A = this chain, B = another copy of it.
Amino acid sequence: MALHAVEFPPATHDFQTFLGQAEPNMQVVLHGYIGQRADLSKKLSFVRLTDPTMKYSIQVVAFGKNDATEKLKSLNAHSPVAVRGKVQKKKGKNTDAGDKPAEEKWELALEDVHPLNDFPKDIIMTPETVFAPEHRYLQLRSDAELRDALQFRAEVRNECKKELENCQPPFVEIETPLLFKSTPEGAREFLVPTRRAGLAYALPQSPQQYKQILMASGIPRYFQFARCFRDEDLRADRQPEFTQLDLEMSFATGEDVMRTIEGVVRRLWANLMQDPAPEGPFRRRSYQEVMAKYGSDKPDTRYGMELMRLDHLLPADLVMKISPLENPIVEAFKLESQNNDPAATLKFIGQFLDSPAGAPFNNNPDGGPGVFVYNGKQPLCGLQPFGFEAAEQIEELLEPDHGDLIIIQARPRAPFAGGATPVGDLRRALHGHAVSAGFSPSPTGFDFMWVVDFPLFSPSSDSEPGQGGAAGFSSTHHPFTAPKTAADVDMLLADPTKVVADHYDLVVNGVELGGGSRRIHDAAVQEFILRDILQMKPERLVDFEHLLDALRAGCPPHAGLALGFDRLVAVLLGKESVRDVIAFPKTGKGGDDAMVRAPSPMTEEALETYHLRLRK
């Protein structure tokens, strides 16, 4: 049986301490990974020893024919070792220069090397190697940026924590259970069967109910880095488990929460980023406004391309050409050309629409995008299809320059619902494509914004279970969100779909960093919304009894928020995917952990333990 390092010499120093204290003839034992060996002669070899943090390294010199040299020569690069040696000044030019880093000033004359494990010869590992997800450990080991991201993530966490704990009164970090109960809050929950036949816990989609109960429990301010779970189809960048910075304040409104979060953001940007966040409170925009202006409830506002309503201007025959809809709303936006070259613009938009990214827009059942390139050399500058009068007004509205792209898009005449309109998605996709194709400059900086005044309810969707009520609509966020004003409360009976929620989303650069709301703290109102507005069945209503009881026991008003922590770290680091800031992300479409191969088959024995059987 091959055997390594049951006993091995302890390091006399960590590298950082060693490099600060090194002097000639010092005897040291250092731990680390050896690099590629260079054999200068039969009697002289060099190898770099990198420390366990992989932040420092030092040159090791093996001279002469001896056991230590032989052992060193038997080791593969990247193998962990303990090296015993004597410190000496590094030879060569400029090694005496005072500004030389300590790593370049000193070297170690090898006296002994203790192999601690073998790095296999058949694994090729360079800083550039991209490993398959099942070899995440190799990716982490070879990719300093990924390891640094995990360390940065810990720093982000600490900064958030410090800000919240320095508030007056301070937020207190409190853990809430993960073995919770299935309640119809909105998302699909993972179940955890128990050994009592038919009974299961559910993993929480957020600590929402527990934190509200904390507010009813005399805890004035709570926060937690909470693991949350949603059993949803893995979209581009969602994980079935994720971390949120979750907080709640009693005797508070959304104003208090937004102020608190602005403090957190400001601290993060001040302490961890190159430039601080902009001064003053973040601006606020209503859901209706951002949907009209950007076709998205989390718009990137840094690159213009604002939407304009054109339907009142357009000739009927043009509308018929771009959409099968009766009396649609038509919106337009402009994408500026950098070099005022209509041909290049045409080529760019053609490429986009022919690409897979363009397909969903071409296939929009409400009609594809209408494409125009503003061209001073053409009749009506290329806006001829609009007719003279409309073309003039469009010029006034969009102020296009030679070579600019104008897109028009129809949609049904209906109130905004959901997170984006197709033209909003088109705006985003087209801009992303323009940046990567070099057609548009990459936007810079961070543009923070609160999106507020969401509708309290939205039409039920097939993909989200919602609250399972019979009303035909569901809570836009969750059923605990308070109506915004007394007038909104009155509107509950008259027309629930018109009720505005006291909900706020923090948006930066097209990313929703988090969202929160003032909560309903009046048991009667909460019960009324669940029972009479959402028309939840009595057997599901009873699942919320604990919350109603807690509210009834004199619960103070309260409000809170959750920041998507994975996403926040990704934004701070400028990463596209949260996978780059999670040690072991799920990677597959089905939420697979490719490395450990989870999920895995349930054994018959396990099924029996939980009184379960597979359906055929």
**Chain A residues within CB distance 8 Å of chain B:** 1-8, 10-11, 14, 16-17, 31-33, 52-54, 76, 78-80, 82, 116-120, 123, 134-138, 140-142, 147, 150-151, 153-154, 157-158, 165, 168-169, 172-182, 188, 190-203, 209-210, 213-214, 216-220, 227, 229, 231, 240-241, 243, 250-251, 253, 255-256, 482-486, 488-489, 521-522, 524-525, 528, 543, 545-546, 549-557, 582-584, 586, 590-591, 593, 595-603, 606, 608-615
Q: What chain B residues lie within 8 Å of A169 (beta carbons)?
A: 14, 16, 52-53
B154 and A555 contacting across the interface, CB-CB below 8 Å: no
8 cross-chain pairs, A with B, having the tightest CB-CB distances, nearest first: A119-B554, A140-B217, A181-B598, A80-B556, A31-B251, A141-B218, A52-B220, A199-B599
Residues A176 and B583 in contact in the complex (CB < 8 Å), given A117-B522, A528-B1, A612-B613: yes
A177 and B251 contacting across the interface, CB-CB below 8 Å: no
Chain B CB within 10 A, most for which of A80, A177, A608? A177
Smallest CB-CB separation from A15: which chain B residue?
B169
CB distance from A117 to the nearest CB of B (A): 5
Task: Pick from B8, B54, B614: contact of A611, CB below 8 A.
Answer: B614
A593 and B253 contacting across the interface, CB-CB below 8 Å: no
A597 and B52 contacting across the interface, CB-CB below 8 Å: no
Residues A6 and B251 in contact in the complex (CB < 8 Å), given A116-B557, A176-B583, A199-B601: no
Q: How far, in angstroms, from A486 to B11 measured CA to CA in the complex?
A: 20
A150 and B174 contacting across the interface, CB-CB below 8 Å: yes
A6 and B483 contacting across the interface, CB-CB below 8 Å: yes
Q: How far, in angstroms, from A79 to B522 measured CA to CA in the complex?
A: 12
A179 and B240 contacting across the interface, CB-CB below 8 Å: yes
B1 and A524 contacting across the interface, CB-CB below 8 Å: yes
So how many copies of this chain end up in the complex? 2
Chain B CB within 10 A, most for which of A198, A214, A583? A583
Chain B CB within 10 A, most for which of A52, A168, A591? A52
Smallest CB-CB separation from A16: which chain B residue?
B168
Residues A178 and B181 in contact in the complex (CB < 8 Å), given A201-B598, A521-B5: no
A192 and B182 contacting across the interface, CB-CB below 8 Å: no
Residues A150 and B172 in contact in the complex (CB < 8 Å), given A11-B251, A486-B7, A591-B179: yes
Smallest CB-CB separation from A593: which chain B residue?
B177
Residues A600 and B172 in contact in the complex (CB < 8 Å), given A4-B522, A178-B241, A525-B1: no
What are 30 A-B pairs at a CB distance below 8 A?
A: A4-B522, A31-B556, A33-B554, A33-B556, A52-B169, A52-B250, A80-B556, A116-B251, A141-B553, A147-B218, A154-B172, A158-B165, A175-B583, A176-B583, A177-B584, A178-B229, A179-B598, A191-B602, A191-B606, A191-B610, A192-B599, A193-B602, A194-B591, A198-B601, A199-B600, A200-B602, A546-B595, A611-B614, A612-B613, A612-B614
B52 and A556 contacting across the interface, CB-CB below 8 Å: yes
CB distance from A127 to the nearest CB of B (A): 12
CB distance from A115 to the nearest CB of B (A): 10
Q: What chain B residues lie within 8 Å of A591 (beta carbons)?
A: 179, 194
